[in-house]
Amino acid sequence: MWFEGLNKNEDFLKREFNNRNFSILLYYLSTVCKEDDIFDKLISPFYHTELSDDYLKYLLSFPNGLKVTQESEAAEQILDGNVMIYINGLLISVGMKDFKSRAIMESTEENVLQGPKDGLSENINVSINLIRSRYKRESLRTESHSAGSKSKIKLMLIYDAQIADKPALHELKEKLSNIQVDLIQSAGQLQKNIIRSTFNIFPLFMTTERPDRVVKNLSEGKIVVLIEGSSWALIGPATFFDFFESMDDPVQMPLIGQFLVFIRYVALLITLVLPALYIAIISYSPDLLKIQFALLVAGSRMSVPFPSYVEIMFMLIMTEFLIEASIRLPKTVSSTATTVGGLILGQAATEAGLVAEVMIIVISAVAISNFVIPVNSMHQAIRVIRYPLIIMASLLGTIGVVIGLLALIAYLCNLRSLGRPYMKLL
Amino acid sequence: MLRVRYYYYLLYLNFVVCIIEFTPKLIYSRRYTSSLSSSLISLIATCLLIMLLEKHMKPFPGQSIAQIMNGTLTHFFQKSLFFCCLVLSYGAGLIFLISYTQIIHRFICPDISFGLLFGVFLFFTVFVSLLDPKSTLFMLEIIVLFQIPVIVIMILLFLLDANIQVDFLVEASSYLLHWPSYQMIAAGAFLFSGYMNRLVFNEHLESSKPMKLLTIVFTVGLLLLLAYYFIPIGYFGLAGIGNDNDIWFTTTNSIRLPHFFIERFLVIFLIMQLGVSLMFVIICWHTSLQFLKQANLFNGGKLKWFWVSFLLVMSFVLWLYMNDSTVRNSLSWLLNIKLLFDIVLVFTIVRCARKRKAVV
């Protein structure tokens, strides 16, 4: 009895067919194979063939028809959507897979104004199709790998063999083969398993759902990993600065594109430093400001009963709640939540004298500038890294902010993405 | 291999940090006699040493100092040299850290305890100096490139300032023809001594073209030297700068930025300078640790943490015994020794290169 493990499945079928001269046995999972194709391409020709050898030749003429010798290998093929045909004492595998996925959808997480709108698909073949249609070079290579001891998810490594960074490619392959985890279902999860560092919060690989970004990176010698069942691709090696580029930049006139990138770095600085700087200036060195400005801030804080770090932590955490709530809530409710949170909480808090008006401006500026960073994984990292800076500012004032920033620079300079420096200015 | 521009950053960092916080106390102490002539002579002398070193380092691309010296010097002599280098660069870093903590404490945060400030700086610099050489150089690049615009703005603000008295400048330049002294030359040479970092970073840096390097170092060095020597004099006059230890910070404290939300330029200047200064200490201590590594004393986890703890404890203990005057005295001792030692090292490299050539 073959395929003991699969036998207990409701959707596992074993069908026997006989004609006058010979018989065959088909094994497949009905849920992942196309039944119509099985009938048209396997069963119907079977009744029109006289000799078993001719039918065997016919089976091997399929582009993915192959002889399988081991039962375990055959079981894997069945799980991968192939049909196993037992004929003349041989097992032949023929691909009839029908894994469901969405049609090509619009990219929703990385919006652009003028660039192409299509996004990668959950189906690897469709994604490769989208990439190949934009990048027609002979040197483009696709290599299949798998990861996850239980999920056995198919990964596709794509790179341009002529320009890809060889040591990086070697390192990535090695890391992929060393992944020891049960399940992998998304690009982020794969990234985490490749990096394998508990304390790292910065994304060392770019994740994207845009085929145009994939192609741009391929043409720069980077390596792309597609994951079956996920519409996100992983791109490496990446640098810190890659995360501040949007696919809109090449579409714009050069000066405008550079201006947009510059604006993003300003936003990074504001979102990272402003809360810490507020604490440092208010609590430690108000003398840094011009007198009128210092008096204005002091005046607006007159009724506030807490030190500045309590005030800013309270509002920042409220903002975090608001962001989290608006992501998870159903769309119909989320607008109400933001109105209640943003408008009413902000206004009521200042009127009650719990927080200063200037602080509301600071917090709004911080929240808005955080969203300017175009790649989600980076803006999450920046969101978290603000808090150590705030703690440093609470303890040491301006000096704390500077030391915190220097430590951050040192940390970033020490990071490597597939052996390449992550933070190298020029 | 990294480009040669990192070498320029090392030279620049050394110069800009020392000229502002370290040497004014020394250089202006003999402004009526040998300061100006000695500084110019030290520039020429260091340029010659740089050319000599670069020319003779060329046969050793990508090699560490130990590899360069192997076959020419005995292991004992090599280790002694490394030990001296280690002590000198550690000393320079420590004196500098204490001196800069004093400045920060005085000008930015007098209400934070001095010990806490020193402790934070110490921990930060020790742990960052453990980074690998390439990461240290990447960090150096970021910090130097962010600092240059502030320095350019500062020099422009000075040049456009009507309070600068030309008479003071003419008076100061009239002391050019005085006979130079060794101590002043040593102080001046220390400004340009960033070239010695080639010994540590040679493994990761490309070779330079000595003539091109020389031209750049000489021109930029001369301009910066003149700017840094004359600007405070232009404000205070030769007599006015006598009693102030932190002349550069007093000078920048007088600049106001009426159209910016931070009014005192000193704050921006000090914050940028804090980055550069800590970077300088990091490079110094990184150099020390690299010399330990070259002497095979920094391998393995336990030994590494032993040295790190030693560095922390040692620095803390020394800090307890150092006040303003001991810092200044130990600095002038260090400078006097360092120039001689640098010359010895350069000629050792020359000898190694000659021997290598003879063997080939």
Cβ proximity of B112 and B105 under 8 Å: yes
Query: Cis peptide leading into A374, omega within 30 of 0?
Result: no
Identify the helix (H) or strand (E) that includes residue B178: none
Residue in chain A nearest B145 by alpha carbon: A425
Q: How is chain B split into domains, by residue range?
A: 5-354
Q: What is the pLDDT of residue A27?
A: 92
Q: Between chains, do B128 and A425 touch, taking CB under 8 Å as contact? A: no
Tell me which residue in B5, B111, B261 faces A290 most closely, judged by beta carbons. B261
Dihedral over alpha carbons A116, A119, A120, A121 (to 10 degrees): -130
Q: Report ipTM for this prediction.
A: 0.93
Alpha-carbon distances, residue A412 vs A210, A406, A409, B131 (angstroms):
26, 10, 5, 11
pLDDT level of residue A236 (50, 70, 90 thresholds): confident
Question: With 0-12 CB in 10 A as exposed, 13-18 as middle and 19+ as buried, what is A230?
Answer: buried
Q: Is B278 helix (H, G, I), strand (E, B) or coil?
A: helix
pLDDT level of residue B169 (50, 70, 90 thresholds): confident
**Chain A residues whose beta carbon lies within 8 Å of the beta carbon of residue B104:** 399
Nearest chain B CA: its distance from A11 CA (Å): 56
Tokens of A248: 């809109």
**Residue A276: CB partners within 8 Å, gap ≥ 6?**
A386, A389, A390, A392, A393, A400, A401, A404
Three-class DSSP labels, A166-202: HHHHHHHHHHHHCCCCCCCCCHHHHHHHHHCCCCCCC
Q: What is the mean pLDDT of chain B?
A: 87
User: Nearest-5° angle of CA A278, CA A281, CA A283?
Assistant: 95
End-to-end CA distance of chain B: 24
Q: Between chains, do A403 and B120 touch, taking CB under 8 Å as contact? A: yes
Q: What is the mean pLDDT of chain A?
A: 88
DSSP B84-145: HHHHHHHHHHHHHHHHHHHHHHHHT-TTS-HHHHHHHHHHHHHHHTTS-HHHHHHHHHHHHH
Out of 3.40.50.300, 3.30.450.90, 1.20.1440.120, 1.20.1740.10, the CATH code matching B5-354 is 1.20.1740.10
d(CA A421, CA B134): 9
Q: B108, B116, B141, B150: which to substitute to probe chain A, counting the most A Cβ within 10 Å? A: B108
* pLDDT more than 70, % of chain B: 98
**Position B17 pLDDT exceeds 70:** yes
Tell me which residue in A290, A402, A425 faces B274 most closely, judged by beta carbons. A402
Tell me which residue in A398, A409, A426 faces B108 most closely, judged by beta carbons. A398
Q: Residue B13, Cβ neighbours under 10 Å: how many?
A: 21
End-to-end CA distance of chain A: 65
Tell me which residue in B138, B143, B263 faces A423 most closely, judged by beta carbons. B138
**Position B299 pLDDT exceeds 70:** yes
Tell me which residue in A285, A398, A409 faces B139 most closely, judged by beta carbons. A409
Tokens of A90: 């041989």
Cβ proximity of A283 and A392 under 8 Å: no
**Touching A: B residues 97-116, CB under 8 Å:** 104, 108-109, 111-112, 116
Cβ proximity of A92 and A60 under 8 Å: yes
Tokens of B165: 């008295």
Q: A269, A279, A416, A425: which to substitute to probe chain B, counting the most B Cβ within 10 Å? A: A425
**Position A400 pLDDT exceeds 80:** yes
Each residue's pLDDT tens digit, B65-101: 888 888 888 888 888 999 999 999 999 999 989 988 9
**Chain A residues whose beta carbon lies within 8 Å of the beta carbon of residue B131:** 410, 413-414
Q: Does residue B206 belong to the interface with chain A, where contact is any CB pair within 8 Å?
A: no
Q: Where are the alpha helices (DSSP H) in A280-356?
A: 291-300, 308-328, 331-338, 346-351
- Provide the residue type at A189 as one letter: Q
* pLDDT more than 90, % of chain A: 38
Higher-pLDDT residue of A5, A221: A221
In terms of average pLDDT, the best of A111-125, B121-135, B291-305 is B121-135
Nearest to B289, CA basis, from B97, B89, B148, B65: B89
Each residue's pLDDT tens digit, B256-273: 777 777 878 888 888 888
**Position A1 pLDDT exceeds 70:** no
**Position B23 pLDDT exceeds 80:** no
d(CA B257, CA B150): 13
Each residue's pLDDT tens digit, A152-198: 788 989 999 899 999 999 999 999 888 888 888 888 888 988 888 88
Q: Between chains, do B271 and A398 touch, taking CB under 8 Å as contact? A: yes
**Residue B262: CB partners within 8 Å, gap ≥ 6?**
A288, A289, A290, B268
Q: How is chain A split into domains, by residue range?
A: 4-95, 124-238, 254-421
Residue in chain B nearest A405 by alpha carbon: B275
Label residues B161-172 b or e (16+ Cβ within 10 Å = b).
eeeeeeebbeeb
Sign of CA dihedral A295, A320, A404, A238: negative
Lowest-confidence region among A29-38, A360-369, B4-13, B111-120: A29-38
Q: Is B164 helix (H, G, I), strand (E, B) or coil?
A: coil
Tokens of B182: 């060794």
Q: What is the pLDDT of residue A258?
A: 92
d(CA A15, CA A143): 34
